[in-house]
Every structure is written in C-alpha cells, then in structure tokens.
Structure 1
Amino acid sequence: MKNKQWLRVALPVFGVAWGGNGFTPMLVHYREQGVLAAVTVDLMLVYYAIGVAIGLLGTGPLSDRFGRRALMLPAPIVALMGSVLIASGEQTAWLMGLGRFCAGIAVGMAMTAGGSWIKELSTPRFDATAKPSSGAMRVAMSLSAGFGLGAGASGLIGQCAPLPGQLPFVFHILLTLAFQPLLFGVQETRQSPRRAAGAIPRSGVFPLRAMFSFRFLFLAAAVAPWVFGTAFVGNAILPQRFQPEMDHPIALTGMFITIVLITGFVVQRGMPLLPAHLRPSLSLGAVVVSMSATVFVVDHLSLLRVAFACVLLGVSYGSCMYTGLSETIEVAVPNELGSLSGVYYSLTYTGMVFPALLTALSGSFTYPQMLGFGAAVAVVLLIVSVWASRRVYRPQRG
C-alpha cells in the first residue's frame, strides 16, 4: 500500500472538487424557484471564486512552510461545512453565499496543498512505480474527475430526486465522511523550512523568480486562462443558450458539464504520451479548434451539436490543465511548489469570468463575434507557444 499513498490523498481531493462544482447545475434550480433574485444567484459564483482565490494564494505558501498535511487535512471538513450551509440555506442568500465561500476555500486548499502532496507522493522516494509525468497527471485527473462527476450527479439528483435543494449536498457530505479517514497516516512530504533548513524560503511569500521566469510566463501562464475559460464556455454559456430547448434543464446542464470535464479527465490520461515540447502548442491548438466550433454551434443549437462542442472544449480544458501544471512543476523548486501552484491555479480561474464577460458584452456584440475573438486570441498565443517551446526545449532536443 506504500506505493498507493498518493491515492489516499487523491480521493479526498476528488471529494472536495465534487463539492466545489456540484453546485453549478443547481443554479438552474435556484433560478426556476424565483425565491432569490437572479443577480443573487449569479453572485454565488463570485463568492466561490473569492474563496478559491483566498484558498489558493493563502494555502500555497503556508503548505510550503508548514507541510502539506497541516493544510490538506481540514480541506474536506471546510468543504463539508459549505455543503451543510448550502443545504440548510436554500432560500437564505447569506447562508448559501457563505457556503459557496467555504466550498471555494476548500477547493483552493485541495488544489495547492493536496495537489503538492500528490505530486510529491508520486516520486520514486514514495512510489517506486511513479514516472516523471505521474504527479501532474494524477493531480489533474483527481480534480477533473471530482469536478465532472460532482456536477453530473448533482444535476441528476436535483432533477429527479425529492428535496433537490438538499439531497445533492447530503450526498457530498456522505462522500466527504467516507474519504476523510484516508488522509490519516499518509506520510508528510514537506517539512517546515524552519525545521528542515532553519530558514523560511528565500523568495518570501511568493516565488517571484519562478513566477517571472520565461518558461512560466510563456508556457504555463499562456495556457492557464483557457483551462476554465474553455470549460465554462461548455459549463455555462452553451447550456444557458440551449436552456429554452431543454425538457430537463438541471439534468442536461449537469450532463454537459460532465462531458466537458470527463473528456478532460480522459485527455489528461494520455497527455504524458505526447512529447513535452509539443504539449503547449497542441493544447492551444485544441483551444483554437474548440472555440471555432463553438462559434458555429452557439447559433445552430441542437443537443448533438452542443454535446460535440462540449467534447472539443473538454479536450482543450484537459490538455491545458495538464500542460500548465506540468510546466509549473518543472519550474518550481521544492520549497516553492505549493506557492507556485497557487499562482498557476489562480491564473486558471481567471477563465471563470468568461461567461459573465460575454453576458455583459452581449448587448454590443453577438456570441459568435465574441467567441470568434477568443479563437483569434488563441491563434496568437499558439504562435507564441511554438516560439517559446523551441527556445525552452532546444537543449533537451539537441
């Protein structure tokens, strides 16, 4: 079981991600109820994003200083508290907002402390079967599976089961209680720098040198916004546009989200097979293809077309997540992995503003125009990534 310690962390990370995204298809339910104002429902995504940002930027440096265990152990409990608040506050805005804030903090903790823990447990010191690509793949797949299956299950339960405002979150609570004990007994992989080396990390709170390195800026940061940018085109924009045609909007919204994220999960499994110098360009190429396809689909909506677009968007999401994370891991030094991961994930979450931005601009531009602009930006970044990859990987290829 020693070689499977990473799995004992990955399952709780999966559970936290389940709770973070299980709320998304339920937005349809809250809008249909009409108890809360539409703007109040939309603000739940903002509360979640604020929580994620705090969790990412706060937990990363703390886990580098005090260890992964200290920051990951409470993450599932914080996520559980979030689900309790949401389930008990279905018609109370401040309770739901606080619950979404807790869910966001928990996701940030799991992505940084949990992700760093999984990565470090996926090295030969702790897992004799691990390959150099195992850490990034295992982290990305744990998160994607949780985000995807959480949304799908919540959409199905919310559409078909009684008490739709409670049961999806009760299920997450039970899942959390089942996975939490797995964390006990897992080896710590990172000691406090105070205890290990007698000093705090040289770069201070954030790894400034790594953040502004050529490789991080032109490869990891270039793909980062497209991780959730493409995911939320499939998670929010296409379902919202197609919703008037849906007979079962909660379940179908959950299904579309699941298609995007589970496709990403499958893609991440195969990414290590690709040459490292091609991954950034192929990832951004997938963004160009998926955004271009969405330009057509958004004005020619049908169940099959939306589902197909979600598959393409899932390829973009999965390839960008793995590529950016693997580049981040390569750039980070051991005592800055949590901090730099927090910076990278924060950049990925900027993609969450895409739906709100497009909605705000929809009075002045059509959706095909705005999505087409996104595809054009991706083309520019694709050209930049080809140039940057040649510069970064020239020594290894020589």
Structure 2
Amino acid sequence: MSDMVENKRAQHKVWLTVALSIFTVAWGGNEFTPLLVFYRGEGFFSDLFIDMLLVFYAIGVAVGLLAAGPLSDRYGRRAVMLPAPLLAMLGSTLIATGEEMAPLIGLGRVFSGIAVGMVMTAGGAWIKELATPRFEPGVKPSAGAKRASMSLTGGFALGPAVAGVMAQWLPLPGQLAYIVHIVLTLVLLPLLFTAPETRQSAHLKTKGSFWADVLVPSALSPRFLFVVAPVGPWVFGAAFTAYAILPTLLRDMVAAPIAYSALIALITLGTGFGIQQFGPQIMGTSKTRGPILAMVATVVGMVGAVIVSLHPHPWWALLVCMFLGLSYGLCMFIGLAETQNIAPPVDMAGLTGIFYCLAYSGMVFPAIMTWLNQWLSYPIMLGFGAAMATLCLLIVSFSTRKV
C-alpha cells in the first residue's frame, strides 16, 4: 500500500522535472538584464548596442519559438526540450568570455534566446500535457498554464536578482553569474530524463510537411486575434519598461546602480509571480474578467512609468514596478491560459509559440526608445506607450464579450 502511495505522489510531481529545466533556462536568459547597467558602466559598447542585445535575444527567442513548437508537436516534447539547457549553457559561456567582444556577447544572447524559446513552447506544452488526469488524477484544467508561467517567471526573477548582487559586490562581475547558471544547469539537467513523453503520436510523426505545421490554423481564431494578440506584447513590454528603461533613467540617482536594477527586476517579476498564484481564481468562468484586468494593470503601470520619467525618484519607481509586474504576470498567465484553451492538441506547442512571439515583441521597446531618444524624450515615448495600452484595453474590453 505504501509503495502505491509513493508511486502516486511521484506521478503527481512528474511535471516538476520539466518545470526545473524551464526555470534554469529562464534564469540564464534573464540574468543578463541587470548587467545592462554594468556593461554601460564599462564603456566597451555603445548604449544602442547594449539595448540591441535585447533585440538579439528576442530574435533568438522567436527562432526557438517558431521552430520548437512545430518540431515538438511532430517529434515529441523530450526531443526538443533536452537540447535547450545545453544551448543555454553555451549562451552563458559565450557571454562570459565575450565581456569586451561584441560578436561573442551578441551570439551568446542569440543562443540564450533560442533556448528560452524552446522551453517556452515545448516545455510549456509538456507541462500542460502532464497536468491531465492520465498523469495526475484530479488535476485542475488551469494547472498547466499556471505551472508553466510560474516556472518561467521564477527563473526570470531569480536569475537577474542573483546576477545583479554578484556583479555589484563580488569578484568577476562579468563572469560569475554565468558560471553559477552553468553549474545550476548541470545539476538539474539529469532530472529531465525522468519525465515521460506525452506526445504519444510522436513515434508515428505527423502527416504533412514541417512547413504545414508552422502554419498553425488556430492562430486565426477570432478570440486569439482580438483578445490574446492585444494582450501578448505587454507581457514583456511592461516587464522591460520596468527593468530595462527605468533603471537607465535612475542610474545616476542611486549608489549601487547594478544592485538597484536587480532589485527592480526582482520586484517586477516577483509581483508577477505572486499574482500568477491567483490566476485561475481571477479567470474563473468569466470570459471577460482576466483579459480586462490584465490590461487595466498595464495602463496603470505605463501611466506610472510616465510619471517617474517626469519626476524621477528611486522609491516611486519601485511602486510603479509593482504595477508593471502585475501587468506582466496577468498578461503572461491570462494569455497562456487563453491560448491553451483555444489550441487543439495538434496545435498546442505551435500556438503557444505564436503567443510567446507576441509576448517577446515587447522586448524591442528599449532599443526603439534609445534610438528615438535622439529626437523624442522618454516622457513622450512612454506616454505613447500608455496610449497604446489604453487602446488595447478598449479592444480587449469590446472583443472579449463578442468572441
């Protein structure tokens, strides 16, 4: 009897092995963020190039998302997930050795992004499929989206928090954080081999070509186009407004700018992680409440960012980051949950990849603002962002009732 109980407990927690790999890859992908301040201080690269590193990362994420989704739908989750932590380690190695070399650090960011894209699609679909009665009797339908979003957010939050503290006060500020990530990955990677494959038709492959798989039919669903698509870009649009733009505006007002940047990332993503705990309760059975609340938080956060840009203050910025964190957390969970409800099994990873592409499009905001800052002030640009968030709120408020 005791053996049966232990087996059931182990079966219930099988998703955790996948979640830990997602966590470590997300850690490696986002630990770079507070080091943006470090690289600016070193003076090896221009401000525009440093912000472009976010774009390189976003390009890598897009490649990982768009390729890994159809590949994992076709060949299985494990086949795509296993290489992802290795690519993340390669990315960390290149960035650590490329502190003064633009090609190495740029290539490292691309590899980090590809790895994150792979775990977001294949890993998210894997966790979703493990959160079914076959593997976990009595599991709630929303458990998959909650676990996937929390795994990502936990890594996104702790990675930069640890990296910022290390870079501010410990030796080897350009290398130590990446070494820690590599060690963490090596410790947790073997656990991934214990997770069962959930894509049961994988050994039969999928009929049709790979390029036919890329064209995910469910992406044309009206609810995806008019509810999920307006919410998606604000996942990282809000997050990177908080921990890429605001630290730049405030770096001359704090004594420890790298650690302050890490604190902003921790507060933003920690708030996002916290609100995701209540994601299923917020959505409930309502078609409207979740998406509308996500966009309301976004509007409040973006208006707050405008105020901080006009009247910079480190403590007020932390409060604004809490609202931007609420936006990140709600947009991530609501968008992912809606996507998983819309997608049929054959499109699960593919449509998840498209949602995450929309989410990561928000990462280009800092680079665009740095470039436009030659002609426009940050209050004007952030004000435009607040106006766009308001427009998205209006679209979602109308559409979520109709589709």
Distance 1:129 1:169, change over 3 A: farther
Q: Is 1:102 matched with 2:102?
A: no
**2:218 aligned to which of 188, 192, 210:** 210
CA, structure 1 residues 28+203, in 2 after alignment: closer, same or farther (shift >3 Å)? closer
Matched, 1:74 2:49: no
Cα distance, 1:376 vs structure 2: 2.1
* 1:382 maps to 2:390: no
Equivalent pair of 2:58/2:361 in contact (CA under 8 Å): no
Offset, 1:200:
3.9
C-alpha RMSD of matched pairs (Å): 1.7
Task: Report the counterpart of residue 258 of structure 1 in structure 2.
Answer: 266
Q: CA contact under 8 A between 2:21 and 2:192: conserved in structure 1? A: yes
Tell me the residue number matched to 2:303. 292
Q: How many percent of aligned residue pairs carry the same amino acid?
A: 50
Summarize deviations over 1:327-383 as a string: whole Å, max 9, x none: 110111101111111111001111011122222333433322322222222222222
Residues 96-153 of structure 1: CA distance to partner in whole angstroms, max 9, x if unpaired? 1221111111001110111111111111111124211111111111111101110110
**Counterparts in 2 of 1:1-398, with a 5 A limit?**
1-192=10-201, 195=204, 199-200=207-208, 204-274=212-282, 275=284, 276-277=286-287, 278-392=289-403
Give the deviation of 1:40 after TM superposition.
3.7
> How does the TM-score come out when normalised to structure 2?
0.93
Distance 2:214 2:45 in 1: 39
Contact 1:226 1:351 in 2 (8 A): yes
How far apart are residue 17 of structure 1 and its match? 0.2
Q: In structure 2, what residue type is equivalent to 1:357?
A: I
How far apart are residue 230 of structure 1 and its match? 0.6
Contact 2:60–2:114 (CA<8 Å) still a contact in 1? Answer: yes
1:30 to partner: Cα distance: 1.8
- Measured in 1, the distance between the counterparts of 2:50 and 2:276 equals 32
Contact 1:194 1:200 in 2 (8 A): no
For each residue in 1:138-197, what CA deviation from the matched residue of structure 2 results, as whole angstroms up to 9, or x when unmatched?
11111111011101100000111001111100110111011101101211011345716x
Determine the C-alpha separation between the residues in 2 that align with 1:179 and 1:194. 27
Equivalenced residue count is: 391
Please give the secondary structure, in 2, of the residue aligned with 1:24: coil
Q: Offset at 1:8? A: 0.6
| In 1: Cα distance, 2:210 partner to 2:68 partner | 18
**Partner residue in 2 for 1:396:** none
Answer yes or no: is the 8 Å Cα contact 1:56–1:108 preserved in 2. yes
Distance 1:103 1:268 in 2: 24
SS at match of 2:196: coil
1:11-62: CA deviation from partner (whole Å, max 9, x where unpaired): 1100000000001111222221223444443332222122111111111100
For structure 1, which runs of at least 5 residues remain unmatched after alignment? 393-398
